[in-house]
């Protein structure tokens, strides 16, 4: 039973480390998303400037700003929240490892 618990813990640890490397937690991913965000924002600013004479463009600017800042917050805030969730999962795995064998079987 102990061997099965260790293999399960090792599988979870391996999966957690893969998630850190391949997802939003990767600094390379955040950098690419930030560059894409900056390019989109620059293009949108140019379009807002060019079409400023249209009234609907002026009305859409506040909505664009809110959604644009929300996107930026998701790029950086999402990774922060996922890091906290991964840390809690690791803590639970460590706590599970500390349990006596009788409690693990239940």
What does the domain layout of the chain look like in residue ranges? Answer: 53-97
Give the three-state DSSP class for 80: helix
Q: Which residue has the tokens 């490892």?
A: 97
- Max Cα distance, the chain (Å): 74
27-53 pLDDT tens trace: 888 899 999 999 999 999 999 999 999
62-76 pLDDT tens trace: 999 999 999 999 988
Q: What is the pLDDT of residue 1?
A: 47
DSSP 100: -
Name the nearest CA neighbour of 72 among 44, 52, 103, 98: 44
* Count of C-beta atoms within a 10 Å radius of residue 93: 14
pTM value? 0.66
């Amino acid at each position: 039973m102990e061997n099965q618990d260790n293999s399960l813990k090792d599988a979870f640890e391996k999966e957690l480390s893969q998630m850190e490397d391949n997802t939003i937690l990767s600094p390379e991913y955040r950098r690419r998303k930030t560059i894409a965000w900056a390019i989109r924002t620059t293009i949108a600013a140019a379009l807002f400037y060019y079409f400023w004479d249209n009234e609907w463009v002026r009305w859409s600017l506040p909505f664009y700003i809110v959604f644009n800042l929300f996107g930026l917050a998701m790029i950086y805030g999402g990774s922060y929240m996922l890091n906290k969730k991964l840390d809690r999962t690791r803590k639970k795995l460590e706590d599970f490892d500390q349990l006596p064998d009788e409690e693990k079987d239940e």
